[in-house]
Amino acid sequence: MNRVVKYLGVILKWRRLIFWNTVALTAVAVIVSLVLPHRYTATAQLLPPSDEGDVFGITSLLGGGAGSSLSRLKAGLAGSSTSSDLMIGILGSRTVMQHVAERCSIAKRYGMRKPSPEKSVRQLKDMTKLASSEEGIVKIAVEARSRELAAEVANAYIAELDSFLRHSNISRGHNMRVFIEKRLVQLDSSLALASESLQAFQEVHKVTSVEDETKAAIDAYAKMKSELSLQEAEYEAARSGASEDNPYVEILRRGVAASREELRKLERGGGASGFGVGFGVSFEHLPTIAARFARRYLDFKIQQEAYAKLYEQYEYARVLEARDAPTLTVLDYAVPPERRSFPKRMVITAVVFLFSLVAGIAFALTAEYFGFIKSARPEEYQGWRAIRDELAASVRILRSKPPRRHKPAQ
């Protein structure tokens, strides 16, 4: 208790210095907070798209809006990121930021002497904070000099993200439509030839059908063959828009290779169901006419199944290409904020007040301590004084300029 009373006595002794130091620094903090330029923060919020899978197999490359586009990007990253993370990555990309900077005239608004895209993007990064909540909601917070500019920039991010996703969807839909369209032309010719060949064979040999077992095996084989055609179409379309090292392209390549191997097993008679050339009974054990008819029927069914599946995807690609519906769900558009976000005068004043008060008390206690040891323990005081002199000498050495070296006379 005596020590506490002693400390309080020191504070009372130095009360004038502590008081005026606190008042002076607090007044300076108030003045500085009044002089500092105001900044305002506007916030926009986006709802994360769902990660639902596609209904059609080949549409995994096309996407179906913002959700499907991002889920395809997520698949390309081996599922390591959420849709919200990918949206934040797109918003923070150089491409999107540069478009936002140009749309909002950042260089002009901030009076850049020598404006350049790099400076504008750098300024925009300093203004922007991108984050996602625990629920996955993406938040775009922009701090700017004026209320209107903060809201304008935040909404520009939404417009550019929507444009990016919309263009990505349309481009993929267009590429897939063109690719499938070419395959359909080829399949149409092959289907017509197979149909004519089957019809001519039936007319000549008076054969109308094959056995139920053989027909069921042919239909199953044809279905598997048509599914392989879809996988190959998806793989080729993916390769046209990405490199071979892309994880999603690699997954498609492995799927195609696995399906081809299964078909080879069936054709060699090594399938799990014991098919031989796609049949429960090998061609060798069929009568000559039946075997020849079965081959033509198999070719016709393969072309027919492949054409039907590709045409279904072709129609979907056409719808996706023509679609112009919004791709983003916006929870909150940014509006000009009513209050400034900086400077926070109350916070600045409170922090400086506490700092100055603590600093004044610490100075008073330190001065009283050194005054005490100067008279009571002079040897200890001299030691502290020697340390102070050493520090002062070190500071003088650091501040002194090195002597100039004179060049030797030639």
- Taking only the tens place, the pLDDT of each residue in 74-114 is 444 444 457 788 889 889 999 899 999 999 999 998 888 88
Are 302 and 182 members of one domain?
yes
CA pair distance 218, 214, nearest whole angstrom = 6
Number of independent structural domains in the chain? 3
What residue numbers bound the domain in which 255 lies?
173-322
Do 225 and 259 fall into the same domain? yes
* 349 shares a domain with 261: no
pLDDT score of 382: 85
pTM exceeds 0.75: no
| Of 5, 12, 1, 3, the residue nearest 360 (C-alpha) | 12
Half-sphere exposure of 378 (CA within 13 A, CB side): 1
Residue 404 lies in a domain: no
Residue with tokens 């006379």: 409
Determine the pLDDT at residue 349: 92
CB atoms within 10 A of CB 148: 12
For residues 188 and 112, give the distance between their C-alpha atoms in angstroms, rounded to a whole number.
61
- Res. 287 pLDDT band, cuts 50 70 90: low
Q: Within this chain, do residues 177 and 300 fall inside the same structural domain, yes or no?
A: yes
Burial class (CB in 10 A: 0-12, 13-18, 19+), 311: middle
138 and 199 co-located in one domain = no
Instruction: Give per-residue pLDDT as tens, 348-364.
Output: 999 999 999 999 999 99
Of the two residues 115 and 209, the one the predictor is more confident about is 115
Q: Give per-residue pLDDT as tens, 177-233.
A: 777 777 778 777 777 787 777 777 666 665 555 555 566 666 777 777 777 877 777
| pLDDT reported for residue 220 | 72
Domain-embedded: residue 153: yes
- One-character DSSP codes across 314-375: HHHHHHHHH-------EEE-----SS-SB--HHHHHHHHHHHHHHHHHHHHHHHHHHHHHHH
Which amino acid is located at 228 in the chain? L
**Would you say residue 45 has pLDDT above 60?**
yes
Same domain, 305 and 183: yes
Average per-residue pLDDT for the chain: 76
Q: Which of 181-195, 249-263, 280-294, 305-319 has the highest mean pLDDT?
A: 249-263
Report the pLDDT value the prediction gives residue 98, as an integer from 0 to 100: 93
Domain boundary pick from 117, 140, 168: 168
How does residue 163 score in pLDDT terms, banded at 50, 70 and 90? Answer: confident
Of 141, 168, 195, which closes a domain?
168
Q: Specify which residues 20 forms β-bridges with.
A: none
Rounded alpha-carbon distances, angstroms, from residue 278 to 38, 197, 216:
77, 20, 10
pLDDT of 266 reads: 67
How many Cα atoms within 13 Å fall on the side-chain side of residue 241?
20
**Is 290 found in the same domain as 211?**
yes
Which of the given ranges, 142-146, 167-171, 284-288, has the highest pLDDT on average?
Answer: 142-146
Q: Is the pLDDT of residue 340 over 50?
A: yes
Q: Are residues 194 and 299 in the same domain?
A: yes
CB atoms within 10 A of CB 210: 19
pLDDT of residue 241: 61
Q: What distance lies between CA 360 and its chain's CA centroid?
A: 50
188 and 310: one domain?
A: yes
Pick the last residue of a domain from 168, 202, 222.
168
Name the nearest CA neighbour of 166 among 300, 279, 326.
Answer: 326
Structure tokens at 331: 């929870």
Q: Do 116 and 164 belong to one domain?
A: yes
Cis? peptide before 343, omega within 30° of 0: yes
Whether the per-residue pLDDT at 331 is higher than 70: the answer is yes
C-alpha–C-alpha distance, residues 34 and 13, integer Å: 34
